[in-house]
Structure 1
């Protein structure tokens, strides 16, 4: 288990932000890496704030990595290899099709439940 915990705070203007807390003693400077499809994503920053062992993590999302579908980014502790957090960005036509399919399935399930409930009401009278 990692001695660090990364908590997302927000995604704003194309930059994912979070707070990294570590319980390692002294002036430990953590090392993280960000990957997308197992390739390094450059440009992230790690800045110490307030309390000892607390850091602000900023990960700018490169425009060239955005495309239709789901793009998943992993943030790892470089030393241990543990995944500290991840985030996904969904975009494009592929997403619209997925949502329409899910809504259609929900409608069909609701219709099935309504029929079963009506049948149950008729049988219990």
Structure 2
């Protein structure tokens, strides 16, 4: 079982530490179900240091929820599917009165990922 520890964002790079038995095949940062960048993986003791750039073009007014997804070999570049390891929400523009909006954005992103996986399994594309 993989566990991702979010270490935050600094200088536009989302950093974290992944505790897993083996290095991940490919880590992709997604926004609204689409890939926006690929994360780099560096060995650190028995864990893996993760560095994922968040492109400036992906940050707009409102809330953007980025997901760190471990993809399978040969995953389609347009529709990323796989195991979600972590998430980070970036709020830009006018201050929001409620944190509930951020939670809803996160739930929507995770639901989209689950729907894609269920459709893939239903189609028999393991």
Structure (1/2) with the larger strand percentage: 2
Say if 2:78 is the partner of 1:78.
no
CA distance in 2, matches of 1:78, 1:43: 11
**Residue 15 of structure 2: aligned partner:** 17
The runs of 5 or more residues in structure 1 that have no matched partner are 103-125
Output the TM-score relative to the length of structure 1: 0.64
Structure (1/2) with the larger helix percentage: 1
Output the TM-score relative to the length of structure 2: 0.64
**Residue 29 of structure 1: aligned partner:** 23
CA distance in 2, matches of 1:50, 1:19: 11
The runs of 5 or more residues in structure 2 that have no matched partner are 73-80, 99-126
Indicate the structure (1 or 2) with the bigger Cα radius of gyration: 1
1:53-92 alignment, distance < 5 Å: 54-79=47-72, 81-92=82-93
- SS of 1:82's partner is strand
Q: Structure 1: which 4+ aligned runs deviate by more than 3 Å?
A: none
